[in-house]
Amino acid sequence: MGALHDGHRALLDAARSGCDYSVVSIFVNPKQFGPGEDLASYPRPRQQDVETCRQAGADLVFIPSAAEMYPPGFRTVVRVAGLTDGLCGATRPGHFDGVTTVVARLFNIIGPDLAWFGEKDYQQLLVVRQLVADLAWPIEIVAHPTVRDPDGLAASSRNRYLDGPSRRQACEIYAALRGAAERARSGQTDAASLIDLARTRIQQAGRCTIDYVSLVDAQTLEALSSVDRPARLCAAVRIGPCRLIDNVPVDVPEADR
């Protein structure tokens, strides 16, 4: 959606090294914003974004308007069931219908062989993979590890909403998830205990609203009661005007492997 940062640049670099011709789509998609969300204020530094793409060696930058993406009479909604029910799907109704609809349209317009998505948006990554598999599109969805700033905060276009104190507070989200994941590797497998550990640290960092902290199956996103298979610990937290998401892998304790 533009406002490109180091995470996007890493996707660009991966695409350039992994294929012969790279296309970057930039589109602030109104269909994935809910009522009261930041569609109007979402950053749109178009010239800066185009320059970032040029420096990264992108072959084409596709920047359609909303009218071009959704012309008069557009009626189709693309929905992936199941994977979109929990996590951000539960707290942002309709969000993933907007994501899958725009991704389907972009894929049909561009016709890629490979498409790179970051693990920071882990639920989105799995949803897009399911979309491609279900519709039998000959597209490989390539995951890229979350890119983090030196302080641990996951790169995000919305980080620009954070001032100094709120940024330091935001860094505790990753620290809390990582601490809980380390506790799991040490043998604590009870999901409720791990979630409580992470929630407590996030809350102690400062005033915020926690949309969720959840331990889920790494493939199905099913909520888990214990770490008995590869999992992800995911969180969405609102700090001031900024809604931040992050996640970390959680491995089965070595003693149980």
| Cα distance between residue 12 and residue 116, in whole Å | 8
Determine contact, residues 118/147, Cβ cutoff 8 Å: yes
CATH architecture assigned to 6-144: 3-Layer(aba) Sandwich (3.40)
Determine contact, residues 243/154, Cβ cutoff 8 Å: no
Task: Name the nearest CA neighbour of 197 among 178, 169, 224.
Answer: 178
Task: Name the nearest CA neighbour of 201 among 232, 228, 171, 226.
Answer: 171
Locate tokens 């406002």: which residue? 3
Helices (H), 43-190: 46-56, 66-69, 88-91, 95-110, 122-134, 164-185
Assess whether 8 carries a catalytic annotation.
yes
| Cα distance between residue 249 and residue 233, in whole Å | 6
Residue 141: predicted pLDDT: 98
Measured over the CA atoms of residue 91, residue 94, residue 98 and residue 101, the dihedral's sign is positive
DSSP single-letter state for residue 70: S
Residue 252: predicted pLDDT: 86
Residues forming beta bridges with residue 247, ordered by sequence position: 234
Residue 1: predicted pLDDT: 93
Each residue's pLDDT expressed in tens, for the chain with a length of 257 residues: 999 999 999 999 999 999 999 999 999 999 999 998 999 999 999 999 999 999 999 999 999 999 999 999 999 999 999 999 999 999 999 999 999 999 999 999 999 999 999 999 999 999 999 999 999 999 999 999 999 999 999 999 999 999 999 999 999 999 999 999 999 999 999 999 999 999 999 999 999 999 999 999 999 999 999 999 999 999 999 999 899 999 999 998 865 65
Determine contact, residues 100/128, Cβ cutoff 8 Å: yes
| Active-site choice (5, 8, 95, 144) | 8
Determine contact, residues 82/129, Cβ cutoff 8 Å: no
* Assigned token pair, 209: 């609203």
Q: Which CATH number fits domain 157-248: 3.40.50.261, 3.40.50.10440, 3.30.1300.10, 3.40.50.670?
A: 3.30.1300.10
Domain coordinates of the chain in residue numbers?
6-144, 157-248
The separation between CA 182 and the C-alpha centre of its own chain, rounded to angstroms, equals: 22
Q: What are phi and psi of 43, to 5 degrees?
A: -65, 140
The separation between CA 40 and the C-alpha centre of its own chain, rounded to angstroms, equals: 20
Give the pairing type, strands 23-25 and 60-62.
Answer: parallel
Residues 6+ apart with CB under 8 A from 75: none
Is 174 strand, coil or helix?
helix
Determine contact, residues 212/87, Cβ cutoff 8 Å: yes
Is 222 strand, coil or helix?
coil
